[in-house]
Structure 1
Amino acid sequence: MDTYIGMWGWIWVVAFLVLFIGIGVWGMKKTKNDEDFAVARGAYGPITLAFAFAATIASGATFMSVPGMAYSKGFAAIWYPATYPIAIYVGMILAIKLIKRAGDKFRSNSLPEFLGQR
């Protein structure tokens, strides 16, 4: 039985690698210059950008600040992970339209580039 599970584990690992290498090759063929790589030729709308931005923030908060807050606040910290996803995604959906409009105006590809041009 263990050999059977081990075999399927390796099949999934290889399938995963093949899938992501294929996605990488496909994306590489579509990318013509640095701007294409950075902003995907502006193909994504504000909702997609809001979710990507919020996921970046949520990942950092999840692994860095939440354990420390839970250690210092104790059980009261349980409210943070319960309400944070709702607040961050709603906030980003509202704010990203302004951020995208300003980024398009200054033709900046990243937040540091935007702040430098402002």
Structure 2
Amino acid sequence: MAVDYAVIVIYLAGMLAMGWWGMRRARSKSDFLVAGRRLGPVMYSGTMAAIVLGGASTIGGVGLGYQYGLSGAWMVFTIGLGLLALILVMGVGVIGTAIALNDVVEALTVAYNLLVGGLLVPILGGLLWKRGTVQGALAAVVVGGLAVIGLMAGYGILANEPVYYGLLSSLVAYVAVSLATRPTDAAVLANWRERLAGRGTPELVSEPVPAHQ
């Protein structure tokens, strides 16, 4: 027990020491918020990993390993690979956005148009329309997003038409593809309705296996 307390005390003391050291180095608001914009690729990747990878992927990953064996570690591996891909994609996207846009208002408008034009219809459709399918949702995201991007290039970033026509095209794609594809399984829909109602997922009761004579 004494060792546990010692580890906790050392950990807290180390956190306080690092906080004091960082406070002495932060001479401006930019230093405090974004490390003075001096982070290199390695430090930036480590910072992003520290934000995303926490107790769920460290302690939880070990627990999954004990419970499921090596297959339980795939969650941590895929999170790491996804994080690397996200950093690369977001880095290229941020650089392109900074070159193309003039101010923060335009950046917020682009984000709003893409989110509303691409995601609003499949989200509401999944909640309200039983006939909606996964293929329809994916088609709505792709068609709505591409329509918003194309219309912003034609009408301008601050115009209202991109989000209006983007929503309309997303809705058409969602309905058409959902009706053209196989309906979602009834058991999956029932499970989803139970979760929306807050009643949780009913546990499946396994039948006893008869012993071999």
TM-score bracket relative to the smaller structure = 0.5 to 0.7
Deviation at residue 11 of structure 1 after TM alignment: 1.3
The normalised TM-score by structure 2 is: 0.33
- Does residue 1:28 correspond to 2:34, yes or no? no
- Partners of 1:18 and 1:113 lie apart in 2 by 43
From 41, 47, 58, the counterpart of 1:52: 47
The normalised TM-score by structure 1 is: 0.53
- Extract unaligned runs of 5+ from structure 2: 58-71, 111-213
Distance 1:82 1:39, change over 3 A: closer
Deviation at residue 47 of structure 1 after TM alignment: 4.0
- What residue number does 1:69 align with? none
Deviation at residue 104 of structure 1 after TM alignment: 7.2
Deviation at residue 39 of structure 1 after TM alignment: 1.0
- Partners of 1:116 and 1:99 lie apart in 2 by 14
Q: Which has the higher helix share?
A: 1
- Does residue 1:89 correspond to 2:80, yes or no? no
Identity of aligned residues (%): 17
Q: Are the counterparts in 1 of residues 97 and 107 from structure 2 also a CA contact under 8 Å?
A: no
| Rg (Cα) greater in structure | 2
Aligned ranges 1:1-118 → 2 under 5 Å = 6-57=1-52, 81=75, 84-99=78-93, 101=95, 115-116=107-108
- Partners of 1:102 and 1:30 lie apart in 2 by 31
Q: Which has the higher contact order (CA 8 A, sep 6+)?
A: 1
Listed one character per residue, the Cα deviations across residues 24-53 of structure 1 (whole Å, up to 9, x for unaligned) are 000000011221111111221234324433
- Deviation larger for 19-28 or 46-55: 46-55
- Extract unaligned runs of 5+ from structure 1: 1-5, 64-77
